[in-house]
Amino acid sequence: MTPLLELVDVRKKFGAVEALRGVSFALAPGEVLALLGDNGAGKSTLMKTITGIHRASAGRILFAGADLASHDPGQIRALGVEMIYQDLALARQQDVASNIFLGREPTRRFLGLPLHVIDRARIEREAEAMIRRLGARVPSVRYRVGDLSGGQQQSVAIARALTFAPKLVIMDEPTAALAVREVEHVLELVRELKRQGIAVILISHRLTDVFAVCDRAIVLRQGRTVADERVAETSMNTIVAHIVGAG
Amino acid sequence: MVPSEAGAVAAPRRGLSWRDLGGAIRLESLVVLVLLCLALSLLSPYFLSVANALNILLATSVIGILGFASTFVIASAGIDLSLGSVLGFGGVVGALAVNVLGLPWPFGIVLGLAAGAFCGLINGLLVALAGIPAFIVTLGMLGVARGAALVLTGGQPIYGLPAPLVWLGQGRPFGVPVPAILFLALAAVTHFLLSRTRFGKYALVIGDNENAARATGIHVARLRIGLYTLSGLLAGLAGLLFAARVNSGDPTAGISYELTAITAAILGGSNLFGGRASVVGTLIGALIMGVLQNGLNLLAVSSFYQQMAIGSVLVLAVWLDQWNRSRGRA
Ligand SMILES: Nc1ncnc2c1ncn2[C@@H]1O[C@H](COP(=O)(O)OP(=O)(O)O)[C@@H](O)[C@H]1O
Ligand SMILES: [Mg+2]
C-alpha cells in the first residue's frame, strides 16, 4: 500500500538551533500513530513542518503523492491535512461558528452583484450541525470562543479539524489540559476517525492513552527518530526507556 | 461524527445583539453621544438645528474618514500614525497635478488617491515583510510624507483648484455638504467591507491571533499590506476633500489628525490590541469628537483647550475600555 504521508530526512534549523536532525517515517492511510518524546524533542516543530507553518531546512515531505515543499498552510489543509494545535490556534474574540470555518468561509454573491460576502447563515447552520454530531457541549455557535471553558475550546478546535473531510488529523497534546471524562471523549474520537479510515498522528505524554488507541509509536529525541515500534509488540517500559534515552 | 451525548445545542441567543451593526459597538459610546448632544442643546441655543447638524457632519467628515482607515488597521492589531501626514501629501499631490502640471481634474483625484495608497503600500511592505513594528514604520512615514509634501510645495500652499474639485469640498446639493455625503457613503462601504467580507473578517482574525490566522491558511503578510494600503488610500481621499474644501493643497494640512482618528476608533469600541473593531462604532466615536469640538466652538472655548480635550478623551477611552475588560465583559 502506498503511504499517505512520507517524510524523508526532514531537518529544521532555527538559527543555530537544530530542532530536527533528520526525521524519516511513513504513515499508511487510516493508521493511528503516536509521536512521543520529551519536552523540546521537536514534536511540535515536526508537525508544524508538515502543516506548512514551518518550512523544512532540508528533506522531503510527501502527502498523497504531492511534495509539500511548495505548498502554503492553506493549500496543505486543502489536501486534507488538519492539525489541532497545542495552543488550539483559535481567535478568541470571534464566535464558535467563525472559528470552525476560519480560512474557509463559504461566500455568496451580494444582491446578485459581483461582490462576495461571507455566507453567515450557512456557516452557523453547518457549524451547529458539526457541534451536534461531535456531541460537544457548546451552548451556542454564536458564543465568543474566549468566553468558553478549556474543554469547550478544545471541542471547537476539533470541530474545525473535522469539518472538511480530512485524510490526516494531527493532534498536539489534545488531552493535556482536559478532565478525565473529556480525555475519554477525545480517545473515542480517535477510534472513530480510525473506523472511518482517517489517519491520526497523536502527540501525548500519557502512555496509557497511546497504548489504548494507537497502532504504532515513534519516539523523537533531540530531533531524531530513536524508535519506531508497533504498539502491540512493545511495552510501556521499552517506550519510556527510548523517551528518556536509556534504551 | 462521534455518536455520544445527544447534542445539547441551545437556541442561539439573539436578544440585544449588535451583530448587524458590526458586533463591536460599545453601547456606552452611543449613550455618551446622546448625552453630549442633550447637554449642548441646553447650554447653547444654536446647537440643536439642521444647519448645525450638517456643520458637524461636514467638520467631522475628514477626521471620520481617517477614523475608518484606522479602524481596519487597529482591527489587525496594527496602528497607522502617518494618517495626518499622508492626508497632507495626498492633498498636495492632487493640487500639484491640476494646478502646476495642468492635468484635467480627474487626474488630480486619481493621483491624490494613488499618492496616499503608495504611502500606505510602503507602510504595509515594511510592516509585513521587513517585520518592523507598525508604530515605528508609520511614525517614520509621518515624517517622510509630511516632509515630501513640504518639499513638493516649497512649504507654500498651492491655491486655486478647478471648479469640479472645489465642488467636492464646498458643494451643497439639496443643502447637504458633499463631504458629509461622501463621509456617510464611505461609512456604509467600509462597514460592509469590515463586517461582511473575508478581507474584513481576516483583518480581525490576524489582530486576534496571528498564529491562528496562519495555521488556517490566511495569507497574513498579503492581508497586512492590503490593510495599510487601504489606510493610505483613505487618507489620500481625506486629503483631497480637505484640499477641495479650502481650495488649496496645503502641505501642513492634517497635522496631528491621526490622534483624533485613533481616538474616534477607540471611543467607538475598537480594541487597541486588535481583534475587535467596528466602522459604525468609529462613526459614533468620530461624531462624539465632532460634537465636542462644535460645542466647544459654540461655547467660545479656545481651540488650545480643544486639543487638550481630545488628548484627554483618548486616554480616558482606552482606560475605560481596559477597566471594562478587567471586569470580564470585553
Ligand atoms: N519558532 C522557534 N524558534 C526557535 N526555536 C524553536 C522554535 N520552535 C521550537 N524551537 C526549539 O526547537 C526545539 C523543539 O521544540 P518543540 O518542537 O516545541 O518540542 P516539543 O513539542 O517536542 O516539546 C526546542 O529546543 C525549541 O526551543
Ligand atoms: Mg510541543
Grid cell 472559528 is found at A99
CATH number of the domain that residue B231 is part of:
1.10.3470
Grid cell 468561509 is found at A105
pLDDT number for residue B247: 97
Give A192→chain B minimum CA distance, Å.
6
Ligand 1 atom index nearest CA of A12: 12
ipTM over 0.90: yes
Residue A38 forms part of a structural domain: yes
Question: Model confidence at A181, in pLDDT bands (50, 70, 90)?
Answer: confident
Residue A85 forms part of a structural domain: no
Which residues make up the environment of ion ligand 2, defined by Cβ < 5 Å? A 44
The number of distinct structural domains making up chain A is: 2
Based on the fold, state whether residues A115 and A230 are members of the same structural domain: no
Q: Do B6 and A135 touch (CB under 8 A)?
A: yes
Based on the fold, state whether residues A14 and A75 are members of the same structural domain: yes
Q: Do A141 and B10 touch (CB under 8 A)?
A: no
A152 lines ligand 1 (CB under 6 A): no
Residue B46's domain comprises 5-326
State how far the Cα of B91 lies from the Cα of B254, in Å rounded to an integer: 10
A19 lines ligand 1 (CB under 6 A): yes
Measure the CA dihedral B190/A100/B124/B230, to 10°: -10
Q: Do A140 and B211 touch (CB under 8 A)?
A: no
Give A143→chain B minimum CA distance, Å.
8
pLDDT number for residue A247: 55
Q: What single letter denotes the amino acid at residue B22? A: G
Residue A226 forms part of a structural domain: yes
Handedness of CA A58, B213, A124, A191 (dihedral sign): positive
The number of distinct structural domains making up chain B is: 1
Which of these three, A163, A195, A221, is where a domain ends? A163
pLDDT number for residue A102: 97
Give the pLDDT confidence of A204-217 residue by residue, as tens digits: 999 999 999 999 99
Based on the fold, state whether residues A96 and A137 are members of the same structural domain: yes
Which protein residue has the closest C-alpha to ligand 1 atom 8? A45
How far is CA B181 from each of CA A149, B58, B67, B170, B249, rounded to the nearest angstrom?
A: 46, 9, 16, 12, 22
Residue A44 forms part of a structural domain: yes
State how far the Cα of A85 lies from the Cα of A177, in Å rounded to an integer: 13
pLDDT number for residue B13: 38
Based on the fold, state whether residues A114 and A209 are members of the same structural domain: no
Give the pLDDT confidence of A26-75 residue by residue, as tens digits: 999 999 999 999 999 999 999 999 999 999 999 999 999 999 999 999 99
Based on the fold, state whether residues A61 and A114 are members of the same structural domain: no
Beta-carbon-side half-sphere exposure of residue A100 (alpha carbons within 13 Å) = 29
How far is CA A56 from each of CA A219, B97, B288, rounded to the nearest angstrom?
A: 19, 50, 52
Residues of B whose CB is below 8 A from A143: 13
Residue A177 forms part of a structural domain: yes
Based on the fold, state whether residues A76 and A176 are members of the same structural domain: yes
- Average pLDDT along chain A: 94
Nearest to A128 among B1, B9, B219 (CB): B9
Q: At how many degrees (to 10) do helices B303-326 and B257-267 cross?
A: 40
Residues of B whose CB is below 8 A from A130: 1
Based on the fold, state whether residues A141 and A173 are members of the same structural domain: no
Residue A118's domain comprises 91-148+156-163
The answer to whether residue A128 neighbours chain B at the CB level (below 8 Å) is yes
Which protein residue has the closest C-alpha to ligand 1 atom 11? A19
pLDDT number for residue B200: 97
pLDDT, mean of each 10-residue run, chain B (330 residues) = 36 40 65 92 94 96 98 98 98 97 96 98 97 97 98 96 96 96 97 96 98 97 98 98 97 95 92 93 95 92 84 81 65
pLDDT number for residue B330: 42
